[in-house]
């Protein structure tokens, strides 16, 4: 599993769209105390509104890693970013990337890492060998966020729930399963890069035995209803062995994003299918609520939607960014 060194300097390259810098914005919003500042090339038009430090300046102030906060086109590392990353390595910092390109494929970075002693960390990739899932009952408690589709709030819901539990004095740990989550948490496994036979085993390793009252809040990936990524989801469900599930949904979507022939399922159907799948490794699993990405709804429409859905499903309905996840934390702690 990846272990990252903090604090971070966030590198924005020459980005000109905020949506392409979602990793950097996620780090700023969810682990601000671990972020020293930002750095970018002159052509960049997006800023995080953080202090600007060059790699050398950031290293002198104690930064331990420079994080590539941009999803470059095709997941490929642009050549014009290499001098800034090499400068960070020369200053003794690690370079952290969630791109498809492997940092070790660039000789200039390999040589700079050798000179400065920093590490090249590809959080999307791992050299760790995972075992197959065992299904063995583990001590501690686990909650997994699941979804009706990809990219609709599973990570934000898990982060918010871990914070809400901690605020109540409940021992809780956010367990990251994607590259941005790993950067926020400082550790985790990018399960979409694990060989299919070992996804459940990777999830078991990510959430090992723990104290009886400790909650692992596990970031979900994909969706059971996704024609491309359902396999990742199912392996994560089985290996997480969740005691509780939170269903995440975006009401503005009628079909799987990018797959117009695949309709979003009815939410009660989605709850039933997730519970059914999770019962393979935990017969006592229950869905404790629904988390909604309500950014497409005005305030009144959101209130009406949440009230109606809660009444229909008999579950609390929240938006982490619009009122928080307090009702989910309360439901989680009920016997």
What pLDDT does 71 receive? Answer: 80
Half-sphere exposure of 249 (CA within 13 A, CB side): 24
The closest of 71, 82, 61 to 7, measured between CA atoms, is 61
Task: Determine the pLDDT at residue 142.
Answer: 98
CB burial string 191-215: b at 16+ within 10 A, e below: bbbbeeebbbbbbbbbbeebeeebb
Q: How much is the pLDDT for 334?
A: 87
Query: What stretches of 77-150 adopt beta strand conformation (E)?
Result: 94-97, 120-122, 141-147
Any residues with CB less than 8 A from the CB of 96 and at least 6 apart, and which?
A: 4, 8, 65, 66, 67, 68, 121, 123, 183
Among the four given CATH numbers 2.60.210.10, 3.40.50.300, 1.10.3720.10, 3.40.366.10, the one describing domain 141-333: 3.40.50.300
Q: To which residue do tokens 């070992």 refer? A: 198
Nearest one of 176, 153, 170, 171 to 320, comparing CA atoms: 153
User: Where are the domains positioned within the chain?
Assistant: 2-122, 141-333
Q: For residues 223 and 227, what is the distance between their CA atoms, to the nearest angstrom? A: 9
* E strand or H helix at 10: strand 8-11
What is the model's pTM? 0.87
- The residues near 23 (Cβ < 8 Å, ≥ 6 apart) are 67, 68, 69, 70, 71, 98, 179, 180, 183
pLDDT at position 268 is 98
Classify burial at 107, counting beta carbons within 10 Å of its beta carbon; exposed 0-12, middle 13-18, buried 19 or more: exposed
Mean pLDDT by 10 residues, the chain (335 residues): 86 89 90 95 95 97 95 78 96 92 94 95 83 96 97 94 96 94 89 92 96 97 95 97 98 94 97 98 98 96 97 97 95 89
Topology of domain 2-122 in CATH is Rossmann fold (3.40.50)
What region, left, alpha or beta, does residue 44 occupy, with left being phi > 0 and alpha being psi -120 to 50 degrees? beta
- Domain 2-122 and domain 141-333 have a common topology: yes
Nearest to 25 by CA among 12, 13, 16, 14: 12
Nearest to 247 by CA among 291, 283, 278, 217: 291
pLDDT of residue 256: 94
């Amino acid at each position: 599993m990846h272990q990252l060194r903090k604090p971070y300097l966030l590198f924005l390259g020459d980005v000109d769209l905020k949506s392409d810098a979602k990793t950097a914005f996620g780090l700023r919003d969810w682990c601000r105390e671990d972020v020293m500042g930002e750095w970018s090339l002159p052509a960049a038009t997006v800023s995080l509104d953080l202090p600007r430090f060059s790699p050398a300046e950031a290293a002198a102030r104690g930064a331990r890693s420079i994080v590539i906060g941009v999803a470059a086109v095709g997941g490929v590392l642009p050549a014009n970013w290499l001098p800034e990353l090499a400068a960070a390595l020369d200053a003794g910092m690690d370079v952290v990337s969630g791109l498809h390109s492997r940092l070790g494929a660039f000789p200039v970075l390999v040589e700079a890492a050798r000179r400065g002693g920093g590490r090249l960390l590809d959080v999307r990739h791992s050299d760790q060998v995972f075992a197959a899932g065992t299904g063995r009952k583990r001590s501690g408690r686990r909650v997994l966020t699941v979804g009706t589709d990809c990219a609709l709030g599973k990570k934000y819901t898990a982060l918010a729930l871990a914070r809400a539990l901690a605020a109540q004095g409940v021992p809780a740990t956010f367990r990251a399963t994607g590259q941005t989550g790993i950067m926020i948490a400082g550790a985790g496994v990018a399960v979409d890069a694990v060989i299919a036979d070992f996804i459940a085993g990777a999830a078991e390793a990510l959430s090992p035995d723990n104290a009886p009252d400790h909650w692992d809040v596990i970031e979900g990936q994909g969706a059971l209803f996704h024609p491309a990524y359902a396999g990742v989801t199912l392996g994560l469900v089985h290996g997480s062995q969740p005691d509780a599930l939170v269903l995440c949904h975006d009401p503005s979507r009628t079909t799987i994003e990018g797959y117009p022939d695949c309709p979003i399922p009815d939410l009660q159907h989605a709850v039933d299918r997730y519970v059914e799948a999770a019962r393979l490794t935990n017969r006592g699993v229950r869905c404790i609520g629904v988390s909604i990405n309500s950014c497409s709804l005005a305030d009144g429409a959101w209130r009406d939607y949440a009230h109606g859905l809660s009444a229909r499903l008999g579950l609390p309905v929240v938006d982490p960014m619009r009122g928080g996840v307090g009702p989910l934390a309360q439901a989680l702690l009920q016997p």
